[in-house]
């Protein structure tokens, strides 16, 4: 069995993923999304940009003939070439697993920096990994330690460090001595899991499972098991605590007295979890508190943003203006067709929201508030033009979570709006997909991509309106004794 850096990286993020990658039929994976393709292409382009700055010897071998690759790599290392790209390092672990390392670059250490002799001679190598990310995340560092460790077995000397070449940052030197125990624990646990062939339990976590191609398969498993990870608010650590308390099903959690949970969590969290289980079991919304301050106005604005976080760019400010007195609405998509147009759409946004100076501006989550502050600072907007907007911004997510408990798996806009009956025109549209469309618009100039972004953004604004309207009706009509 082969264990490579990719498998070790996935193992750290989700042990089940590493297991499925080795033992499950790959045809059961989801298709890679457009956004995942974009990330892979961005990563490849970044690799090429970095590699253009290096003079290297490239190892050539028939794909997956790792032994041939390892032999060719060792040959170049023995010759003492300065830099090797696509090197292959193999180390057969005595438990029947072969460790396969393919560092992006192997860079020769000058004699003065090599305190000891390696098996190669008066030189040795240091592994370098090219990363699209900007931060030296722990899982990157563990993988960097993996390359260093396999290299040490091949050259007979542990490298002083392992380098992460990060995007837009100076190279990061991994402290191998500090990381050694953690790395070995991770490696050994991964090997043990693979050799035991025991499938790790499913645990659906929105963040972690987001881009994973086993998602449909895992989600179906979790659904069939009525797994507690599908209950909103149950994180991995809360799940572990619930197991310890013997609460392993939604039924058992719904029937428990919240006081039983209070040694572990605060009263509000304990009550929230029990009510969440009750709501999920019955399929009904429960009132949490009476929000008498839910704003309703003759004119309301619904606001949603499309952004490219890597570029610190907000490329679409979408505003749905709803005139309740006339029963009409109009959607304004303020799109930065080029990134340089961000200031222009910010000014258009200010002009539009000040046409309705008493209209509350509804949005979902806090990104819109942060963005108003960011754009005001960036474009040096006078305080009277933007500061009063902050008090007009109303977070519908906050209003919903304060006022109600819903039978949804998460309190995302998609999840809640779908539960109240709203559907997006493009069923697989998402923020990530919007990023892909914007990237394609920039590259191809095809307006169909702009139209898709605008359609998605408009639907987000309309979904926010539907959720807010639902909450207003629900709180008004519902018996408020629950909760």
Q: Which is nearer to ligand SF4, 222 or 256 (CB)?
A: 222
> Residue 193 CB, nearest distance to ligand SF4 (Å)?
13
**Is the CB of 163 or the CB of 218 nearer to ligand SF4?**
218
Q: How far apart are CB 192 and ligand SF4 at their closest, in Å?
A: 18
Q: Are 399 and 293 in contact (CB under 8 A)?
A: no
Terminus-to-terminus CA distance in the chain, angstroms? 54
Q: Which is nearer to ligand SF4, 18 or 321 (CB)?
A: 18
Min CB(207)–ligand SF4 separation in Å = 9
Using CA atoms, how far apart are residues 436 and 34, in angstroms rounded to an integer?
Answer: 7
Which of 109/222 has CB closer to ligand SF4? 222
Task: Please say which residue, 203 or 303, places its beta carbon nearer to ligand SF4.
Answer: 203
CA–CA gap between residue 173 and residue 411 (Å, rounded): 40
* Residue 164 CB, nearest approach to ligand SF4 (Å): 23
Q: Please tell me whether residue 17 binds ligand SF4 under the rule CB under 6 A.
A: yes
- Minimum distance of ligand SF4 from residue 17's CB (angstroms): 4
- Antiparallel, parallel or unpaired: β 57-58 and 83-85: parallel
Which residues within the stretch 187-216 sit at the binding site for ligand SF4 (CB under 6 A)? Answer: 202-203, 208-209, 212, 214-215
Nearest-approach distance from CB 33 to ligand SF4, in angstroms: 13
The distance of closest approach from Cβ of residue 283 to ligand SF4 in the complex, given in angstroms and rounded to an integer, is 25
203/456 with CB nearer ligand SF4:
203
> Cβ 435 to ligand SF4, closest distance in Å?
21
Minimum CB distance to ligand SF4, residue 138 (Å): 17
Beta strand pairing call for 361-363 and 328-335: unpaired
Which residues are within 8 A (CB) of 184 and not within 5 positions of it... i.e. 6 or more apart?
A: none
How far apart are alpha carbons 455 and 425 in whole angstroms? 8
Q: Is 11 in the site for ligand SF4 (CB under 6 A)?
A: no
- DSSP, collapsed to helix, strand or coil, labels residue 316 as strand
> Residue 148 or residue 212: which is nearer to ligand SF4 going by CB?
212
Q: Give the separation between CA 276 and CA 253, rounded to whole angstroms.
A: 9
Residue 222 beta carbon to ligand SF4: minimum distance, rounded to whole angstroms: 8
475 with 482: CB under 8 angstroms?
no
Contacts of 193 (CB under 8 A, 6+ apart): 11, 15, 18, 19, 200
Q: How far is the CB of 188 from ligand SF4 (least distance, A)?
A: 20
Q: Which of residues 18-57 bind ligand SF4 (CB under 6 A)?
A: 20
Instruction: For strands 125-130 and 328-335, give the pairing.
Output: unpaired
- Indicate which single residue of 14, 277, 336, 417 sits in contact with ligand SF4 (rule: CB under 6 A): 14
- Which residue lies nearer to ligand SF4 by CB, 21 or 347? 21
Phi then psi dihedrals of residue 392, to 5 deg = -85, -15
Taking a C-beta distance cutoff of 8 angstroms, is the pair 441, 400 a contact?
no
Q: How far is the CB of 298 from ligand SF4 (least distance, A)?
A: 46
Is 3 a binder of ligand SF4 (CB under 6 A)? no
The two beta strands, 2-4 and 393-395, are: unpaired
CB under 6 A: which stretch of 16-24, 187-195, 266-274, 354-362 binds ligand SF4? 16-24
Tokens describing residue 156:
């007979």
Name which position in 89, 114, 218, 396 contacts ligand SF4 (CB under 6 A). Answer: 218
Residues 116-145, interacting with ligand SF4 (CB under 6 A): none
**Nearest residue (CB) to ligand SF4, 19 versus 422:** 19
Distances (CA, A) of 200 to 19, 88, 97, 140: 7, 30, 19, 23
Under DSSP, is residue 176 helix (H, G, I), strand (E, B) or coil?
helix
Could you tell me the two tokens for 111? 């004699």
φ, ψ for residue 99, nearest 5 deg? -85, 130
CA distance 454 to 317: 10
Nearer to ligand SF4, 5 or 84 (CB): 5
d(CA 253, CA 428): 33
- Using CB under 6 A as the binding rule, whether residue 418 contacts ligand SF4 is answered as no
Comparing CB distances to ligand SF4, the nearer of 160 and 199 is 199
Count of Cβ atoms closer than 10 Å to residue 12 Cβ: 18
Residue 92 pairs with which residues in a beta bridge? 98
Closest to ligand SF4 by CB, 29 or 402 = 29
Alpha helix ranges (H) inside 225-266: 236-244, 250-255, 258-261
Interface contacts to ligand SF4, rule CB under 6 A = 14, 16-17, 20, 202-203, 208-209, 212, 214-215, 218
């Amino acid at each position: 069995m082969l264990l490579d850096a990719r498998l070790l990286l996935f193992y750290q993020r989700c042990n089940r993923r590493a297991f499925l990658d080795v033992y499950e039929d790959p045809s059961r994976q989801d298709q890679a999304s457009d956004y995942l393709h974009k990330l892979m292409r961005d990563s490849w382009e970044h690799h090429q940009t970095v590699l253009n700055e290096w003079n290297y010897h490239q190892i050539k071998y028939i794909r997956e003939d790792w032994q041939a690759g390892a032999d060719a790599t060792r040959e170049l290392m023995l010759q003492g070439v300065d830099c090797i790209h696509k090197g292959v390092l193999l180390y057969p672990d005595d438990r029947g697993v072969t460790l396969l390392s393919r560092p992006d670059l192997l860079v020769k250490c000058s004699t003065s920096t090599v305190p000891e002799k390696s098996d190669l001679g008066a030189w040795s190598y240091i592994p370098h990994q090219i990363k699209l990310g900007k931060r030296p995340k722990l899982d990157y560092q563990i993988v960097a330690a993996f390359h260093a460790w396999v290299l040490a077995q091949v050259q007979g000397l542990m490298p002083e460090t392992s380098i992460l070449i990060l995007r837009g940052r100076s190279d990061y030197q991994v402290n191998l001595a500090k990381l050694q125990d953690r790395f070995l624990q991770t490696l050994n646990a991964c090997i043990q899991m693979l050799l035991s062939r025991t499938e790790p339990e499913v645990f659906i976590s929105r963040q972690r499972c987001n881009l994973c191609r086993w998602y449909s398969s895992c989600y179906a498993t979790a659904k069939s098991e009525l797994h507690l990870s599908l209950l909103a608010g149950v994180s991995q650590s809360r799940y572990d605590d619930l197991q310890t308390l013997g609460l392993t099903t939604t039924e058992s959690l719904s029937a428990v007295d919240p006081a039983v949970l209070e040694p572990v969590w605060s009263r509000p969290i304990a009550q929230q979890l029990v009510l969440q289980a009750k709501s999920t079991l019955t399929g009904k919304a429960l009132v949490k508190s009476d929000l008498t301050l839910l704003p309703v106005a003759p004119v309301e604005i619904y606001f949603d943003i499309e952004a490219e976080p890597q570029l610190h760019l907000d490329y679409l400010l979408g505003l749905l203006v709803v005139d309740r007195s006339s029963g009409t609405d109009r959607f304004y998509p303020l799109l930065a067709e080029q990134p340089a147009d961000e200031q222009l759409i910010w000014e258009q946004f200010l002009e539009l929201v000040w046409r309705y100076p008493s209209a509350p501006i509804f949005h979902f989550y806090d990104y819109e508030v942060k963005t108003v502050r960011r754009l005001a600072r960036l474009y040096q907007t006078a305080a009277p033009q933007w500061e009063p907007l902050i008090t007009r911004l109303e977070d519908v997510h906050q209003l919903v979570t304060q006022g109600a408990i819903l039978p949804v798996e998460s309190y995302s806009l998609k999840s809640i709006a779908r539960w109240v009956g709203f559907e997006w025109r493009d069923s697989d549209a998402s923020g990530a997909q919007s990023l892909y469309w914007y990237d394609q618009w920039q590259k191809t100039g095809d307006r169909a991509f702009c139209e898709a972004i605008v359609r998605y953004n408009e639907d987000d604004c309309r979904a926010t309106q539907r959720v807010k309207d639902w909450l207003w009706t629900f709180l008004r009509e519902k018996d408020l004794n629950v909760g």
